A and B are shown apart, each in its own frame.
Chain A
Amino acid sequence: MTDRGPTARPMRVIVCIKQVPRAQELQVDPVTQTLKRVGVPSEINPPDANALEMALRLKDQHAAEVVVLSMGPTSFDESLERAVAMGADRSVLLTDRILGGSDTVPTAYALSETIQKIGGYDLLLCGEETTDASTGHVGPGIAGHLDLPQITYASEIRIEDGRVRARRTAEDGTEWWETTLPCLCTVNFGCNRPREPTLTGKIRVERGGVVTHWSCADVGIDPKKVGLFNSPTIVAKVDTVRLPTRAGRIFSGEPKETVRQLLDSLIADGVISP
């Protein structure tokens, strides 16, 4: 994939990020039972922020160049600028009307093409999944497109002599995987604490020009392979879920009394046995 010696120039890390509505602020309207979405601020998808932090640590250790990539409307500039203010070297936004409605298949394809246009990459990082769609399919999808080794759910990445060693958190244990560069890792949500933007970084953003906008034509993306109508999946309909009706007896008052009422109720229901 990269036809140069490992020491010819700094390692290049490309981090894929998405801008999402701030999950913690999403609340359910108790009356309408729908999600309150108006005025919910955006943020870098939190697992992607962990991926970015991982990249910035590699920059600290290995003087790696960090390029941040996103795909979406120009409002995503906000997150890319933040990423640069945090310490990324530059950013690319793939932005084009024809991408609208793309599911994970065209998204993985379009990002793969853009990654190839950026070129010269050693390590690709993604968050383990997004908090708005929660599929986790795009990262492995990119690795599939580019036929790269992939290590998902990495919570630690070490790079030595062109080899990657990553700690992967699986259901029943911790795995250490080793592979060669270039490769793709998805980063475990919450594995680090993303840094705050620095003053120097903010000044760089203020000066402008830290986000490069590319259209599908700029990248050479086949319009017949992206967008809503070229996505294998469609959302046929969305049902609002009425949560199951619960008896909903709420006790308040002295703990001695409320606890007794609760335990009596649970015993009466046969949920706990005395």
Chain B
Amino acid sequence: MTDVHVLEDKSHFHGVWVFLEHRRQGLRDVSVQLIGEGRRISDLRNTVLTGVLLGNRVDVLATYALGYGLDRVIVVDDPLLEIYRSRPYAQVMAQLIRRHKPEIVLYGASKNGRDLGGRLHAILETGLAADCVKFDIDAEGNLDMIRPSFGGKSLAHILCKKHRPQMASVRRNVFIAPPHDPSRTGEVVHESVELGPSDVDATLVDFQEFVREGGLRPEEADVVVSGGYGLRDPKAFAMLQELADLLGGAIAASRKAVDSGWVPKMLQVGQTGMTVRPKLYLAVGISGAVQHLAGMQESKKIVVINIDPKAPLFEIADYGIVGDLFEVVPEMIGQLKVLKAGASGARTAVPAAAH
């Protein structure tokens, strides 16, 4: 159990690994973003960057993944690995890590990434830092794993000095996806592991995909209109949706609005929700608990609408309106409609300052 982490000599451990999550023959965004950061770390350590791909008939995907900047991809191809399952995936990863001894392993901090990493770090008895936002290499060559604590108001530097591999997870949209270079070449290595039907201890009996209701997802949108407890009523989100549509954006929500049952959890921005970094984040009726800031403070422009001039979110606003959102939002919808009508008709109605 403990053979991996006993470290008389850390020099046995080489290379950076990225666990590649995939779905429907495509890599998940977070994995692509991790390849970019993994490349940077590998270059700092002057070592090889490996993607690890577990699945069923994933060769084409493995070859494609190389184009994002990997030196090689380790593939474990088995019908039992067709979908993500906690125990088989953890067993296979543990075997691969014990066999190859990477010094760093990175995971997406997705539901499955956390499910896997949490199980695996206990099996391997090594360190795992969750939700890292930055990496560095310290003077001794350790990975400096930097993660927000207390909702992003401070950054903790986590080191895993005596155990290997050093493991970390990263949320989606923290790093920028690298471009894909189809001409990049690398190695695809097939590995066999001990895995049998008895290792499968849970069955997926049903899956209902979330229906995208026409609109964009907040993580993908340039403009996010986010509503908080100040909306007082789920119906008020219809007003935010109208505003978001006019701005070509998506709606999101604070934890309080989600906890109140007004909108689904999948729209929640913040520490226990998603991280967004749109060009414009418009916070409506959100006071700005530190946990909320953690999910949106990287937005390029932050606009806050709140009736309370002391709302903490004003502190990080580029622009703010102190006022009753039930007056301000309809007014904004009205003025945007006029602007739009002006833009498609008489150009003179458009302020000249644009761009």
Contact = CB atoms under 8 A, between A and B. Distances in A.
A245 to B, nearest CB: 9
Interface in A220-274: 231-241, 243-244, 246-253, 255-256, 258-260, 262-274
Given A149-B87, A247-B318, A144 B119 contact: yes
Q: Which of B128, B322, B351 has the most CB of A within 10 A?
A: B128
B149 to A, nearest CB: 7
B208 A104 contact: no
A264 B327 CA distance: 18
A175 B319 contact: no
A178 B203 CA distance: 5
A108 interface: yes
A161 interface: no
B86 A28 contact: no
A150 B150 contact: no
A254 to B, nearest CB: 9
A28 B115 contact: no
B117 A246 contact: no
A172 B280 contact: no
B342 A252 contact: no
A168 B205 CA distance: 11
B154 interface: yes
Contact of A267 (B5, B130, B145, B354): B354
Q: Which of A168, A243, A246 has the most CB of B within 10 A?
A: A246
Interface of A: 23-24, 26-28, 30, 33-35, 103-105, 108-109, 129, 131-145, 149-153, 165, 168-180, 183, 188-190, 231-241, 243-244, 246-253, 255-256, 258-260, 262-274
Contacts of B117: 137, 140
B150 A26 contact: yes
B351 A274 contact: yes
Interface string B326-344: 0110011001100100110
A139 B118 CA distance: 7
A181 B159 CA distance: 37
Given A26-B151, A177-B204, A236-B158, A140 B122 contact: yes
Contacts of A179: 201-203
16 contacts: A26-B289, A34-B153, A105-B127, A131-B272, A142-B122, A174-B210, A180-B201, A190-B258, A232-B127, A238-B149, A243-B316, A246-B302, A248-B317, A255-B331, A268-B351, A271-B280
Contacts of B115: 140, 150, 152-153
B157 A237 contact: yes
A250 B309 contact: yes
B111 A233 contact: no
Contacts of B65: none
Contact of A246 (B86, B291, B316): B316
A152 B332 contact: no
A234 B159 CA distance: 5
A258 B154 CA distance: 34
Contacts of A249: 318-320
B271 interface: yes
B204 A175 contact: yes
Given A152-B86, A241-B153, A258 B121 contact: no
B354 to A, nearest CB: 5
B19 to A, nearest CB: 14
